[in-house]
Amino acid sequence: MRINGERLKKTITDMAQIGATPNGGVTRLALSDEDKDARDLLKRWMIETGLEIRIDDFGNLYGRRPGTDPEAGAILIGSHLDSVPAGGRFDGVVGVLASLEVLRTFKDLGIQTKRPVEMVNFTGEEGARFSPPMLGSGGITQMFSSSFIYDRVDADGVRFEDELIRIGYRGESPHRAKNVQHFVELHIEQGPILDTERVPIGAVEGIVGVSWLEVTVRGVRGHAGSTPMAMRRDALIAASVMVSAIAEVATQADKDLLLTVGKFVPRSSAPNVIPDEVTFSVDIRHYDSLIRKRGVQAVKDLLMSIGREKGVDVSVVDLWNMEPTVFSKSLVELICEVSSFLGYPVRKIRGGIGHDAKYMNEICPSAMIFIPCVEGKSHCEDELASWEDIEKGTNVLLHVVYRLAQQ
Amino acid sequence: MRINGERLKKTITDMAQIGATPNGGVTRLALSDEDKDARDLLKRWMIETGLEIRIDDFGNLYGRRPGTDPEAGAILIGSHLDSVPAGGRFDGVVGVLASLEVLRTFKDLGIQTKRPVEMVNFTGEEGARFSPPMLGSGGITQMFSSSFIYDRVDADGVRFEDELIRIGYRGESPHRAKNVQHFVELHIEQGPILDTERVPIGAVEGIVGVSWLEVTVRGVRGHAGSTPMAMRRDALIAASVMVSAIAEVATQADKDLLLTVGKFVPRSSAPNVIPDEVTFSVDIRHYDSLIRKRGVQAVKDLLMSIGREKGVDVSVVDLWNMEPTVFSKSLVELICEVSSFLGYPVRKIRGGIGHDAKYMNEICPSAMIFIPCVEGKSHCEDELASWEDIEKGTNVLLHVVYRLAQQ
């Protein structure tokens, strides 16, 4: 039993026309005209596949293939069609269209499963237009209230609910996914590990927890020509020592601890002015909550100690904390087993970024299948996954879903 | 023989009304309406003092008090009335109005000097509206051509010459300062040394040389959650290690070597994105050209070595070089001698910033007298010099000018 790789390739290529950018990417922001067109196309394909269509109150679009047991919980598969501005053709899309391909394959082969199998296109996963990310999956798993989601506004002040109605995708709350046995999401890795190791399949064990700190370092402004080195309280030098030391903490502590300073903003910026204030972020991730929290404390201690040593004021704000997600161990093992059965190299891997599966895991045992993306590039027009890997990943999804649907 | 401190205080206070900001500073950009008003007021005061008024082709405004010897070279004193946006009341202004006070004192006391004594208000010293700085003094010392100066435009595209004509201060090129024996400029230090050491008079030995480098560090963009630490080529970490190391070079090399990273601009700036590019400036100053040039080379070597170690690309551009200025040793000694004669503590000091005296030194032996400014603050509304120090500095100027004018 294998999916039709050529058909899947054509499906993905056709979908990539909607919101296509000149450099090979797509811009398909949530609830935009392009998002509507993408949904309309997907809906047509789902109807052609004989699926029962359903749209819930957040615009999540479902296609259901009934099972033989009307009481059995469904196997839900899918991802999202929305993109960041000038994003890639694969992020989210592969998961949605691989799900369609699985259901097309069941149809072609006349396979009747015990459990219903449903595919879903979640609304507003990227958070690029309406923030925060993962609104559709967060809505049905009650991470967010309906009114919270409906009142999200984009940069132009346009409301989520108004746009949802405008594009004709406001459905009914009873249509939300329910009685779901498992959720499985296929996605490009968005990191370099599988590509570097040349492994086509990643069985995702979970998603790291994240803490964000916002650090402000205050020194004293001065003129580069008239302030002796010994009299300076240079905020940029102090902040630079902090960033270097944070990088050292990362390499010395647990090898999976990820520490990133991504935002770094000196207040003044002229060659002959000694900077008096720098603000920077620290992003701290680990799969183990305790190690992450120890990392947060180690960073804070380090910042304070360097601040004292350099004679600058340091303030640290805890901006955000998200606990790690641990996916179903048995599903992870199933993905490994199926991959080996199909003859595809597989490795267990941990996700570092939020996905719809993260929230779905709150209401049912969930899992993710990663496939490589070239050089780990994602959220850009260069984003690329090979057709071979997409096909392999979809075959893994096919067999995983089949086995789960027969249990 | 002493100047009239109360009169000088009133003069400075009156001048500070023109372009006054709510927080006690002034905004008096070169060739603006406020600059015109300041010039008009100064011209009125100079005429009241019986000076011969002259305006040259760059708008430099002179007031001359003839000497007994019609052939003798003049003693020129002065500074500038223009300011940076939201600048201080003292930078430049003290030098111009102290010069006026010296000439008022000569008039009051009926002192007739052998040499003529001239005061000058230079045009566009700050470079805040029309760049580069020191256009008026640079013009008459032929550092810049007339056409270069006339074609300078401000941020709105307005030409220097057009504004000079508009405010009525385009004079004649034969009016430029000539047959000048010495130039002496009184100025606030704009640094913390005199204030910290509680010394009212600085005899400025010269002005440091400056080199500017522009450094670009290029790494690889990545996601904070999905890129293992060992696979990163983080431009911000590399740049931070460079900034820290540059600060170390400064403390380990010559103690007077000044190394400043003032501009530091990461390209991307989001908490969860590994930065791929950072651009920063390095400002390198020393009074000794050789030490400065060795410093430049040491910084370049360091940047390249850290770049190799961190696996990032580094490019370094030599943006600007300015050789040091050495003021007349005999004038420096005269300032020290006069200060001691007046009972004021004095120390030799080196200037770290460009001043009109720097260019004037190219055509005649020149010198500067520094007075303290509180905490070294300058180019800000907080800029403050005490009336006592201003009075002392002006008395030193008075006696220096008197002695020079009788030689």
Task: For residue B225, give the nearest of A250, A258, A274 by CB distance.
Answer: A258
Rounded Cα distance between A390 and A374, Å, is: 12
Contact across the interface for A262 and B274, Cβ inside 8 Å: yes
Rounded Cα distance between A236 and A223, Å, is: 14
For tokens 């190791």, the residue is A197
For residue A256, the chain B residues in CB contact (below 8 A) are: 228
d(CA A176, nearest CA chain B) in Å: 30
Contact across the interface for A189 and B226, Cβ inside 8 Å: yes
Task: For residue B263, give the nearest of A250, A269, A285 by CB distance.
Answer: A269
For residue B132, the chain A residues in CB contact (below 8 A) are: none
Q: In angstroms, what CA-CA distances link A326 with A123, A136, A179, A357, A366?
A: 23, 20, 21, 11, 9
Residue B226 burial class via C-beta count within 10 angstroms: exposed 0-12, middle 13-18, buried 19 and up: buried
- The residues spanned by each domain of chain A are 5-207+324-406, 209-322
Task: For residue B191, give the nearest of A190, A193, A227 by CB distance.
Answer: A227
With CA atoms as reference, the chain A residue closest to B215 would be A271
Q: pLDDT tens for residues B134-174?
A: 999 999 999 999 999 999 999 999 999 999 999 999 999 99
Let me know if the fold of B5-207+324-406 is the same as that of B209-322: no
Rounded Cα distance between A163 and A297, Å, is: 42
Beta bridge partners of B346: B201
Rounded Cα distance between A97 and A103, Å, is: 10
Mutate to test the interface with A, among B223, B277, B283, B371 (most CBs of A within 10 A): B223
Instruction: For residue B108, count other CB atoms closer than 10 A to its CB.
Output: 12
Q: pLDDT tens for residues B47-100?
A: 999 999 999 999 999 999 999 998 999 999 999 999 999 999 999 999 999 999
Which pLDDT does position B267 carry in this prediction?
87
Q: Is A383 annotated as a binding residue?
A: no
Contact across the interface for A226 and B273, Cβ inside 8 Å: no
Rounded Cα distance between A97 and A108, Å, is: 16
Rounded Cα distance between A356 and A204, Å, is: 13
Task: For residue A263, give the nearest of B230, B269, B378 by CB distance.
Answer: B269
- Comparing C-alpha atoms, which of B356, B349, B352 is closest to residue B92? B356
CB–CB of A114/A407 below 8 Å? yes
With CA atoms as reference, the chain A residue closest to B263 would be A269
DSSP tag of B238: H
CB–CB of B259/B283 below 8 Å? yes
Task: For residue A191, give the nearest of B226, B244, B256 by CB distance.
Answer: B226
> Residue B195 corresponds to which tokens in the numbers above?
């204030």
Q: Is B379 annotated as a binding residue?
A: yes
Rounded Cα distance between A69 and A66, Å, is: 8
d(CA B213, nearest CA chain A) in Å: 9
For residue A247, the chain B residues in CB contact (below 8 A) are: 234, 237, 240
Which pLDDT does position A157 carry in this prediction?
95
Task: For residue B271, give the nearest of A262, A275, A379 by CB distance.
Answer: A262
Compute the radius of gyration of chain A from its Cα atoms.
24
Q: Is B80 annotated as a binding residue?
A: yes
d(CA B86, nearest CA chain A) in Å: 15
Contact across the interface for A353 and B231, Cβ inside 8 Å: no
Instruction: For residue B166, count other CB atoms closer than 10 A to its CB.
Output: 14
Query: Could you say which residues of chain A have pLDDT below 70?
Result: 268
* Torsions phi, psi for A371 (to 5 deg): -120, 160
Q: How many CB pairs under 8 A join A and B?
A: 206
> Residue A96 corresponds to which tokens in the numbers above?
């949605």
Q: Half-sphere exposure (CA, 13 Å, Cβ side) for B55? A: 16
Residue A132 burial class via C-beta count within 10 angstroms: exposed 0-12, middle 13-18, buried 19 and up: middle
Q: Is A379 annotated as a binding residue?
A: yes
Long-range (24+ apart) CB contacts under 8 A made by B229-232 are B229/A250, B229/A251, B229/A255, B229/A257, B229/A258, B229/A259, B230/A255, B231/A192, B231/A193, B231/A196, B231/A376, B232/B274
Which pLDDT does position B320 carry in this prediction?
86
List, in sequence order, the alpha helices (H) in B182-288: 193-197, 235-252
Mean pLDDT by groups of 10 residues along chain B of 407 residues: 98 98 95 98 98 98 96 98 95 98 98 98 95 95 96 95 98 97 98 96 96 96 90 96 92 89 87 93 95 96 97 95 95 98 98 94 97 93 96 98 97
CATH architecture of A5-207+324-406: 3-Layer(aba) Sandwich (3.40)
Contact across the interface for A226 and B352, Cβ inside 8 Å: yes
CB–CB of B352/B376 below 8 Å? no
For residue B355, the chain A residues in CB contact (below 8 A) are: none
Q: Regarding the domain delimited by B209-322, which CATH topology (the fold level of the hierarchy) does it fall under?
A: Alpha-Beta Plaits (3.30.70)
Rounded Cα distance between A230 and B192, Å, is: 11
CB–CB of A36/A26 below 8 Å? no
Rounded Cα distance between A369 and A397, Å, is: 8
d(CA A209, nearest CA chain B) in Å: 9
d(CA A237, nearest CA chain B) in Å: 6
Residue A281 burial class via C-beta count within 10 angstroms: exposed 0-12, middle 13-18, buried 19 and up: buried
Rounded Cα distance between A324 and B69, Å, is: 89
Helix (H, G, I), strand (E, B) or coil at A130: coil
Q: Is A399 annotated as a binding residue?
A: no
Rounded Cα distance between A171 and B18, Å, is: 66
Contact across the interface for A222 and B196, Cβ inside 8 Å: no
For tokens 């011969």, the residue is B52
CB–CB of B30/B83 below 8 Å? no
Question: Residues in chain B, how many?
Answer: 407
